[in-house]
Structure 1
């Protein structure tokens, strides 16, 4: 709850903040505030909706194999992920909208778009395919591309870059969590505890069906 409150405060502050570089393209006067608001809303909603694509996999995993594998003591409760990620995706969308309104779909936004795609691949990789070690490697790619994006954003709009700080902090935590999960559930010959637990559940379901025949 405390983390969610902090994210919400930063999000609210960013909505009222304006910090543009002199080199940034100014928004045409013909563009009404309504259009700007719609543009911002489109980025925010689009970011959240896109982030929800992996939700079914997450829900299925947390209700089956995920809580059966070895998890570190600092693993957050399942209930915290939805509000945290919703807030983070909203801030990502708001950040991207500020850059788009300043320079359009230029290099900074293209780099961030690539990062966003990598972000969407993580849930299917970890929760869907149960490739926890590959997902851990992907975390470092996420940190790298996010760092580059934040640096590029900062040169255009400091507010847009600062909006990504909570996400960067959460990503650092998620990387540490993923690392510890890999350590506690070692992969041997391409097989790990996540796959084992998922296979056991499938066998149990198959056994129940045979008993009920």
Structure 2
């Protein structure tokens, strides 16, 4: 049963992640003034693949646990917001709205981490790298917004 659930959660993750292919960064993003600590392009697919495996594992573990309805609802919310950010930031080129979505994503990831931890501490721990990465993404989004006020 775990592996079936894992594949379902992984499918949800890669569905959210597919927006990166639908709305690639492109020339617009390359021309933005970005901070020196911006990760190189190759880091993003490697990081997201790793995070999606962790997120799917956490979701599958928690789904098998009793009393996981709040954790599952929050997991659903965070993956929806995860899939929304790319079209807003890269598709619509809305830096400020992207930061708002990313802030909501950060809050939902933090809440999901806490809810998962209460259900299954390993599932909660699997969300820690995700929260770190969303924190970095939020700082990067905020920095790009600050450095490119004419694009906001």
**Hey, what does 1:100 align to over in structure 2?**
63
1:56 to 2:13 alignment = no
C-alpha root-mean-square deviation of aligned residues, in Å?
1.7
Richer in helix (by share): 2
Match of 2:3 among 3, 24, 37: 37
Give unpaired runs (5+ residues) of structure 2. Answer: none
Structure 1 residue 185: deviation in Å? 0.5
Whole-angstrom distance in 1 between the partners of 2:35 and 2:107: 25
User: For this pair of structures, how many residues does the alignment match?
Assistant: 152
TM-score (norm 1): 0.67
Maintained 8 Å contact 1:57/1:127: no
Paired residue for 2:31, among 68, 76, 98?
A: 68
The higher radius of gyration belongs to 1
Q: CA offsets per residue over residues 68-87 of structure 1, 9 Å max, x none? A: 11111111111111111111
C-alpha deviation, 1:181, in angstroms: 0.1
Residue 148 (structure 1) aligns with: 111
Report the counterpart of residue 135 of structure 1 in structure 2.
Answer: 98
Q: Is the 8 A contact 1:91 1:163 kept in 2?
A: yes
- For residue 150 of structure 1, give the secondary structure of its aligned residue in structure 2: helix
Give me the whole-angstrom Cα distance separating, in 1, the residues matched to 2:89 and 2:2. Answer: 37
C-alpha distance in 1, partners of 2:67/2:13?
20
2:80 pairs with 1:114: no
Q: Partner residue of 1:82?
A: 45
| Stretches of structure 1 lacking an aligned partner (at least 5 in a row) | 1-34, 194-213
- Alignment correspondent of 1:165: 128
1:186 equivalent to 2:152? Answer: no
TM-score (norm. length: structure 2): 0.91
